[in-house]
Structure 1
Amino acid sequence: MEDKSIFELIAEYSAGTISPADAELLRERLESDAEAMRLFREIRETEKVLKSVQVQEKIDLQKSWQRLDSSLAGLPRKGRRLFLTVGSVVAASVALLLMFVFPFTRQVEQPGTLVSQVGITPGGVKAILQSEDGKMIDLTSSTSSHIVTSDGLVLVNDSLKGLRFDQSKLENQPMKYHTLAVPVGGEYHFTLADGTRVWVNSASEVRFPNCFSGKKREIYVKGEVYLEVARDEKHPFVVHAGENEVRVLGTRFNLTAYPDEQEVITTLVEGSVEFWNDQSSIRLKPGEQSVLDRETNNLEKQKVDVSIYTSWVSGTYEYERMPLSDITRQLSRWYDVQFVYETTEFSNHPFTGVVKRDQSLEEVLSIIEKTTNIKFKISGRTIIIKRAEDAANISRSSN
C-alpha cells in the first residue's frame, strides 16, 4: 500500500481524524522535509484566515477537511500528485479551501441553538492598567471607546490598533509612566504614543510613558512581548528587560524575558536590533535570535525560523522539535493550569506541530498525544504527564 500524500495527512490532521500511525508519519515528514513543513504552515495559516469567515458563514472546517480528504481519496494517486504540483502552494491551499469549504458547508442557523465548549478553555483579552499614582483600570471589562485615567489622560480603545493615548489631549502634559499587566490566561495589544504597536502575552507586563521626551524612547518589560517599532532615527527605542536591554530604530521583533525562566530570548523579524547585557552585546539581522543564559551570563546568536517564536501573535503555537518542558510552560500560562511530570524523562521529549490558541486544552493535548508516547490526565487545573502505556486517554477526573 502506498504512503499517503502529505496533503492527505494534513487534511486528516486538520479534520482531527488522523490515526496515531499517520500522525507519526506526518511528524517525521515535517521534520525531514522543509517543503512539507512550509506547506503545512501555509495551509494552517490559510485555515486561520478562514476562521473569521467561519464565524459569520457557519462553516464547519472539520467537515470540510473530511470532505476534502474523501475527495482526494477518490482520485488516482498520480492525479493527486499532479493536482498538488500545479501552481504555488499558497494558491493551491486557498483554492482547495474555497472549493471544499464554501460550496458544501453553509448551514442554516437554527434559532436558539448554541454549541457548548466543554473543557479547559483558552485565554482571552485581559489586562489591568495601573497609572503612575497607583489607580487601576480593568481593561478586560471596559467596552467604552474612551477611558479617562485618574490623572485626566484620555485613552482611546481603537478596534484596529488597540489601546492608545489620545494625542490631542497630551499637549503640555508631563511624561508619566503607566503599567499594563496581562494576567495568566490573557493577552492584550496596544499602541504607544510614537505609533509603536505592542502585543503582550500571558503573565507579562509593560511599563510605558503616556508620551516620549528626551533623546530615547524607553519602555520596561517583564514576560513576553512582540513589538512593531515606529522608526525614528533621532530617538532610538530601548526595551529594558531587567538588567538587559534591546536597542532599535524601527523594527519588528519578539522578546521573551520571564523573570522565572533561565533564558532571555530576542527574535528579530525585520530591521536591526542590538541586545545588551552588563558584559557584552550582539547585533541581530532578520532571521536571527539572541539567547542570554541568566545563570552563566553567556550570550549567543543563532539563525532560526522566526515564525516559531512569533506565531502566538497571530493565534497559533508552532513547534519544531520543541522540548515538552518549553511547551508546557507556554500552555500553563495561556490556559492557567499546572503540569506535573510523573517522570522527568519526558521533559525533553520533542514535539513538532501547530496548534491553535483558540482550541480547548483537551484538543491541544490530544494533538500532542497522537505523535508521542505520552498521555495526559486532567484533574481540575492540574495536568499529569504519564507514560502512554500506563495511562488511559485524556479524561477529566472528578474532584
Structure 2
Amino acid sequence: MPVDSSRLRELIILQLSDGTLSEDECLELEQLLQSPEARILRAQIYERHQQVAAAVDRIDVDSSYQLYEYERHDRRSRRQRAVLMAAAGISLLIAIGAYLWSERPTNAAPPIQGMGITLADGRQIPIVGDTNLVISSDLSLPVSKRQLRFDLVKESQMPEGLNSFTTPVAMDYQVLLHDGTQVWLNSSTTIRFPFVFKGDVREIYVDGEAYIKVAKNATMPFVVHMPEGSVQVLGTTFNVNCYKHDRPAVALVEGKVRLQVQGLSTDLQPGERAVVNAGIINVDQFDPGELSWINGVYVFENANLEDVLEVLPHWYGVTVTLDSPAIAKKKFSGAIYKDRSVEEFLDLIEATAEAEYYYRGTEVHLR
C-alpha cells in the first residue's frame, strides 16, 4: 500500500528537531520504514535537513541584508535574485520547513480531464477526477488520488487482453495490478498490462519510467518488457528507466532481478544499478535518493547538465536547447520539485552551474 507520507514526515521531523520520540512513536516509525518508498522519503528529508543546516552555517546576516538593500533598489538579473534567495536565511528556513511539513500539492490534485485507459478491444475509457472508471455495466474500478486499483475486482469480471495507460506530461500515477503488484508511473510513461495475469508468467510492458514493487509469487515469475530489453523477477522492488530506448537503466532496491537487453544479460543485487550504453552493461551503486521522483522530487549530486535537463520535457513539457556542447558537461547539484515552476529551477541552474538561460521566442536556451 502507498506510504503515509504525511505521518512519516511528521515523525522524522520530530526526531530531527529534538531527537525524542515516545516509545509508541519509535515503533510506528520503525514499521513505516519497512517500506522502500518510506526509506527513500527519509533520505530525501535528511538531505534537505542537512542542506538547511549547512546553509544556515554559511549565512552572513550583515552581508545578506546589504545584498537585500542593493537588490531592492537595483533589480538586475535573475541570477542575482537566485543568489539573494539562497542567502536569505530566514526565508530559506521558512521555505524548507514548509516543504518538509506539507504534502505535495500535486498528490492531492485530481487527474486532468481527457486521460483514460485504452482497452484491448480498442475502446477508450476516460478518467475524470476521482470518479470510478466504468468498464462495463457490471464492472467499475475505483479511482482516487491518482491511483487505479485492479486488485479489488473479481477475476471473472475482467476482460482479457493487453490494456494501455499513459501518464501525461507533468503528472504521475499509481496502478495497483490485480495480483497486488504496485506500479508508480512517472510522467510521459506508458504501461501495457492485462487486467488479470493468466498462464505461467506475469508480463507487463513499460515505455518511460516506472518504480515497481512486485507481489511475490514463486510459481509465476514477473517480467517487465522495455522497448529494447526486459527485466525478470520473482518478487522485488526496482526502478526501470527507458525514456532513452538505447540507454535503458534498472536500479534494484530489494530482491533480485535479471536484466536482458541487446543480447546481453546481468543479475543485479540490492543497491546496484545497470545502465546499457553502446552495447555494454555498466553496473554501479546508486543513492536511493535518486529514486525519490515517486515523491515528486529529483535529487542530483554533481550531475552533468545534459542529464539533468532530460527531466524537464517529462515534468514540465519544456525542452532546453544548449548553445554549445561545453554546457552539457557543466555540473549541477540540487533538486527539481514537480510542484514548483520550471523558471525557479532554471534560476537555480543560473546560480549554481554557471549557465544562463534565455528565451528565443517560445524556446528556452542555455548559454
Normalised by the length of structure 2, the TM-score is 0.68
User: In structure 1, what is the equivalent of residue 272 of structure 2?
Assistant: 288
User: In structure 2, what is the equivalent of residue 393 of structure 1?
Assistant: none
How far did residue 166 of structure 1 move? 5.8
Contact 2:204–2:225 (CA under 8 A) maintained in structure 1: yes
Question: Number of aligned pairs?
Answer: 281
User: In structure 2, what is the equivalent of residue 312 of structure 1?
Assistant: 293
User: In structure 2, what is the equivalent of residue 302 of structure 1?
Assistant: 284
Provide the C-alpha distance between the structure 2 equivalents of 1:187 and 1:164, rounded to a whole number of angstroms: 15
Identity %: 31
| Runs (5+) with no aligned partner, structure 2 | 1-41, 62-89, 99-108
How far did residue 186 of structure 1 move? 2.3
How far did residue 210 of structure 1 move? 0.4
Provide the C-alpha distance between the structure 2 equivalents of 1:304 and 1:313, rounded to a whole number of angstroms: 16
Contact 1:338–1:381 (CA under 8 A) maintained in structure 2: no
How far did residue 354 of structure 1 move? 2.1
How far did residue 316 of structure 1 move? 0.8
Instruction: Give the match's secondary structure for 1:367.
Output: helix
Q: CA RMSD in A?
A: 3.3
User: In structure 2, what is the equivalent of residue 378 of structure 1?
Assistant: 359
User: In structure 2, what is the equivalent of residue 350 of structure 1?
Assistant: 331
The counterpart of 1:323, out of the listed 276, 296, 304, is: 304
Contact 2:323–2:366 (CA under 8 A) maintained in structure 1: yes
User: In structure 2, what is the equivalent of residue 368 of structure 1?
Assistant: 349
User: In structure 2, what is the equivalent of residue 279 of structure 1?
Assistant: 263
Instruction: Give the match's secondary structure for 1:132.
Output: coil
Q: 1:130 to 1:150 in 2, by over 3 A?
A: farther
Contact 1:274–1:281 (CA under 8 A) maintained in structure 2: yes
Q: 1:175 to 1:340 in 2, by over 3 A?
A: same
Once the two structures are superposed, the pairs formed by residues 1-399 of structure 1 within 5 Å of their partners are 41-43=44-46, 69=56, 125=111, 127-139=115-127, 141-144=128-131, 146-149=132-135, 153-159=139-145, 162-165=147-150, 167-171=152-156, 173-258=158-243, 260-293=244-277, 296-308=278-290, 310-378=291-359, 381-386=362-367
How far did residue 250 of structure 1 move? 1.5
Contact 1:268–1:289 (CA under 8 A) maintained in structure 2: yes
Instruction: Give the match's secondary structure for 1:253.
Output: strand
Post-superposition Cα deviations, 1:175-201, rounded to whole Å, max 9, x if no partner, equal 322101112222211101111111111
How far did residue 249 of structure 1 move? 1.4
| Runs (5+) with no aligned partner, structure 1 | 1-38, 48-64, 75-96, 106-122, 387-399
What letter is aligned with 1:299?
Answer: I
Post-superposition Cα deviations, 1:326-346, rounded to whole Å, max 9, x if no partner, equal 111211221111211122210
Normalised by the length of structure 1, the TM-score is 0.63
Provide the C-alpha distance between the structure 1 equivalents of 2:304 and 2:342, rounded to a whole number of angstroms: 18
How far did residue 381 of structure 1 move? 4.6
What letter is aligned with 2:267?
Answer: R
